[in-house]
Structure 1
């Protein structure tokens, strides 16, 4: 009895000194094995919600089994029987045991007799079992059983204390790792006088002071001079002392004098008796987010001012539902409807109802194209219910993508172009009328010339040149603008005198436009080249060939220009043609250079004319 009391005392002293659960359990097994003179004992821990037994500690067992062995906690085992009974279970000889099964590893280890004593934690929760084994048949007596009951009763609270200490250490470690990793959070603790007592890494990262610099300083060092002057630091601690917590949302200063915006709080720390221990201050550095928010608000305000002042309609729709999220005030002036009519449910149908029936499906199809990620330009008519007018709208629609590249919204600009279209139509009528009158005037001049000068000699040449100018005017009318295409001018002039068919006549070149000012002189040059070819050159009989080609290239200064080559070949020039320097050649070599800053080359070869005209393009 004395020896066993000494064992209990030794175990108690060891448990007080040690904070490691495995060490305490290993010592408990050693002492109980010595006390019962078996040299073998182990502690089995219940795990997996009562489904598994884990060999947590032991003496007299293979070291490979301790801390490794797990076995199912089955119904017909001595361990399960002992936990259910709530007291010791003895087997004097497992070879004769018929009450329960014995795990095979125990038989293999030579166990003959054993006693299982359940270990309960405070509150009655089963932790596991203290199991003492013997390799000989043994009748564990009442003294043995009472000693083991006392031993397990002491083990329970010791294990519970060590488990709680382990959980506390783990919790503290998790807290330490958390606060040290939260570098964008300034966390520090002050004493009741608001002097800094603990300065965590996040506080150093946000404010710049190292812990040895900050500890002992008043927390007011983080406040701006104006807040210290107004007593904001004292108001925070007074409010937290009175109400438990106080908001801390304001600008603060760093060690380097820079400023950071903090969103946080100051919380009073009290013990169980309510005595104030100090203050916990936690704040997040939201400077970047606040500045980004300010920039966003400024951007939104600029956008609002722009859209409010714009006479064009600015709109944004959700790409999936097509519900309007934003609509500028100009909508009411352009469409003659209130914005509320199209901002709610059914807004798309209401907007479509304002579109002219003939243009409605095309306008809706454009929206579907933008939903698919395309950018479109669309013009359609609307019928304004406010005044019954038909107005032309020009819409520029485009998709807005999210970060993943998906069309999130669609937006657009709508412009009332009714007056512009009407002006363009009136201008087109005026231009057509002017060109028609120009052709009529040229006809009148030609008629007066023929009646005054007759139809022969210079009068005939004069009339032909007037007709060339008239053809140029006709092409300008045909193009509907103040431009005409080079190929059309060449073919029209040739067609007035001969059949434009290969291989006798070959015409080729890209689409190049000339202005009205260039057309007049260029047409006269083409006329002179054509009439000379008809009278003396390649178009006089079937022997010759004419090739007219042009390109749009750049000169040495990078300016766009037209280069036209007129090449006659395959015939013999008459002597009169070789020596003649008439109006046409003068027009080409002098007038084009003077009027249009053109460069010309005019060569009379043995088999025909070669002419190159290089004309700057606008």
Structure 2
């Protein structure tokens, strides 16, 4: 017996309409599928373009070392800038610990682990310290480590960016050194001025003589500081110190009264200041009582490289020689100039002085130790 719920078959007259409805539904599905395919293709293209854009950034940023690390600290990506600064080829460093770029003392102090922990907990970790290249040389890096998070906020690794700032670091160190040196020089200068004032007052017969001598010595001191300032306070050429001191006497109308001859020598700052004052005293004495006080008199200053009298330390020997002046007699008492030469100059520079009041003209031999050669650029 047939079931009462069985639906009667469609009438023939209704079938064309149903077919048209199914056709419309099929066409809508086809259109929708085509739109989805187009959207998917567009999304894939955008993803590829985005990945390509990121790859171009990653590969083109050669002024920066950019690399990524896994949670275990192993390198997962390495850009050309990293190869340029650190020396490792990509295939040699991938899968290896990034600890190799840290200095041994930093590795011993667990700096790489601390840096990753700080980046994970605080969102970034600054990195400004010395790093080591594959060849063992070192450079000062300034950079940052940041966490790599997935769409759910889960930590997947780390991104590190470094830049070589070695030259800037060395320049900063040089500025700090110069500031410390300048502070030291200013204090020394004040002490020198105080000493010159006291000694000038001690040996001056009256206030007018004191003022004249003190002013001249201050000018000599200023001349030495001017030479040092132009040389960045790294020293002063011996020839310039001598020629600047004797310049007023070389241009007083009589040619050939002074001469200076010797090899290139750079004096240490302290030695340059004290020697300049000492030569000023010798020149002043020569103009008052010695060879420069007489017509036809002259001063010859020569210097050679050698050693100090009492050891094997490299030194420059300076020979001051006066000729053509009145007969010389040893002074009855030592004045400011003699005390400066025989006491202050050896004390300040570690040099040695021999002063001779020979009848035919004053002679003075000075040996000054030479400063050590500067360190080579780029040395640790």
Tell me the TM-score range normalised by the shorter chain. 0.3 to 0.5
Q: Based on CA coordinates, which of the two structures has the bigger radius of gyration? A: 1
Higher relative contact order (CA 8 A, sep 6+): 2
TM-score by length of 2: 0.47
More strand by proportion, 1 or 2? Answer: 1
More helix by proportion, 1 or 2? Answer: 2
